[in-house]
Amino acid sequence: MLTKLFINGNWEDALSGKTFPTINPATTEVIAHIAEGGAEDVDRAVQAARAALDGPWGKMNAAERAKIIWKMGERIMARADELAKLETMDNGKTITESSRIDVPYSADLYFYYAGAATKLEGHTIPVNGPYFCYTLREPLGVVGLIVPWNFPLLLASRKVAAALAAGNTVILKPAAQTPLTAIALAEIGMEAGLPPGVLNVVPGHGATAGAALVKHPGVDGVALTGGTATGQQLMRDASNTVKKLHLELGGKSPNIVFADADLEAAAKMALMGIFYNKGEVCTAGSRLLVEKSIYDNFIEKVIERAKKMQPGDPMDPKARLGPLVSAAQLENVKKYVALGEQEGARLLVGGRQPEAAPVKGYFFQPTIFDQVQPDSTIAQEEIFGPVLATLTFQDGDELLKIANGTMYGLAAAIWTKDIKKAHRLAKEIKAGTVWINTYNNYDAAMPYGGYKMSGFGVESGMAAFEFYSQSKSVWVDLS
């Protein structure tokens, strides 16, 4: 298993000689010891990326880049079983999720952006006077990509594919908890024909490798998916070099169920909305807002399904709920459950580690609270675990106050058969994505981003190029 840094097309030890363990959250055993990148390694990667940008990659036309990006998607699918197992082993998500969602969706991002690479166009613009004016769309340059541990391959691919399609060179820093598929992605890029230095992978910790990447004057932009506090620190660190930033941060998404909804479908998707990937999802429907007249009946449907969703060995194709990613995240979830009980919410289901998990590890039961106050901690703060806070509403004004009543604005869902009401509410909710009668749908072509303290900038689709490229205006005197 490859465990080294990937810099300028070569597998390298960290200059410090340091390594760190990556741990299987289902067994608590060390999978491998990974080279620990530091500031000096980031500097080497930036130099390699700059040389590639000024050299072979920068001189390659968009159609040639597109062929390589497409091949990366093909190589991901050719290695799908291997990548799915690596992802499950490193993150704890079920093998079903890794194999059916994370890996194929990652490949699809490369297929989409291979096609998009030749669609970056400028404009001719009529202006006053005898001038011919046009714009050029050019790469941003050397970009740093910092990805979290909840969807390691998928979120890396969402960034890498768009960055490469725009003609940038990349330094990818995966989360220290889940570096394995990022290292495999470096190998895939090499197999597909990326020139040395185009894609560099530097595993390490946020306070060292991540901070060095953000502060480095040779990095033109940084895209982060992470927590809001991390995004705030990144903005401070990037200010000295005035870097272009894209931040996809936390969420506390409202999943809204009206009395006229298809309650069976809504109940089924309410579970998927919060317990998919064990709740370690930025857009998790962690606040279930139910119209008061149907609350008791509806919550029984949710509870009945939740009780059947017990944690299991994530390598078992029948498992529906794997372990949390780390011991630290397990303790974080326990802390929030205790806070929920202390603040007066009623625990309906779960709230504990299972008494007899099939394998040892960081498992936690699917957990549901009711009698949750809108301003309580578990209704306001992102838990990032399998914990659902349920609330009720009686009318539209109360609903909007609760739905928009957090610092976040990443996603929301609306369940109703009244399509006029659905569209009206979709406009009034302050969130970057709103699902109607569904949840957690994504596509490489569909823009994705947040409002408020969920960040700024958009990923996926052609809109992603607003970050990964820059526009140049050219004036020609015709007088």
pLDDT tens sequence across 7-54: 999 999 999 999 999 999 999 999 999 999 999 999 999 999 999 999
Q: What percent of the chain has pLDDT over 90?
A: 98
State the Cα–Cα distance between residues 164 and 24, nearest whole angstrom.
31
- Degrees to nearest 5, angle at CA 54 with 51 and 57: 90
State the Cα–Cα distance between residues 3 and 11, nearest whole angstrom.
9
Using only C-alpha atoms, the chain has a radius of gyration, in whole angstroms, of 23
Strands 469-477 and 131-139: antiparallel
Q: Look at the chain and count its residues.
A: 479
The mean pLDDT value for 389-416 works out to 97
| Residue 264 is a catalytic residue | no
State the Cα–Cα distance between residues 216 and 212, nearest whole angstrom.
6
Among 282, 291, 382, 459, the active-site one is: 282
Paired tokens of 218: 């040779």
pLDDT tens sequence across 54-105: 999 999 999 999 999 999 999 999 999 999 999 999 999 999 999 999 999 9
Strands 10-12 and 5-7: antiparallel
| Residue 282 is a catalytic residue | yes
DSSP 163-174: HHHTT-EEEEE-
Identify how many contiguous H helices and E strands the chain contains and give both numbers: 17, 23
Give the chain's mean pLDDT: 97
3-class SS of residue 224: strand
144: closest CA among 13, 66, 39, 61? 39
Paired tokens of 291: 């119209």
Among 248, 280, 291, 459, the active-site one is: 248
What residues form DSSP beta bridges with 368? 349, 388
pLDDT value for 356: 72
Least confident of 62-76, 192-206, 328-342, 354-368: 354-368
pLDDT value at 462 more than 90? yes
With a CB cutoff of 8 Å and minimum separation 6, the contacts of 290 are: 257, 298, 299, 390, 391, 392, 393
pLDDT tens sequence across 262-312: 999 999 999 999 999 999 999 999 999 999 999 999 999 999 999 999 899
249: closest CA among 223, 228, 279, 221? 228
Give the H/E segment covering residue 369. strand 367-370
CB 169 within 8 A of CB 159: no
Residue type present at position 173 = K
* pLDDT level of residue 2 (50, 70, 90 thresholds): confident
State the Cα–Cα distance between residues 272 and 274, nearest whole angstrom.
6
- Degrees to nearest 5, angle at CA 167 with 165 and 172: 80
pLDDT value at 358 more than 70? no
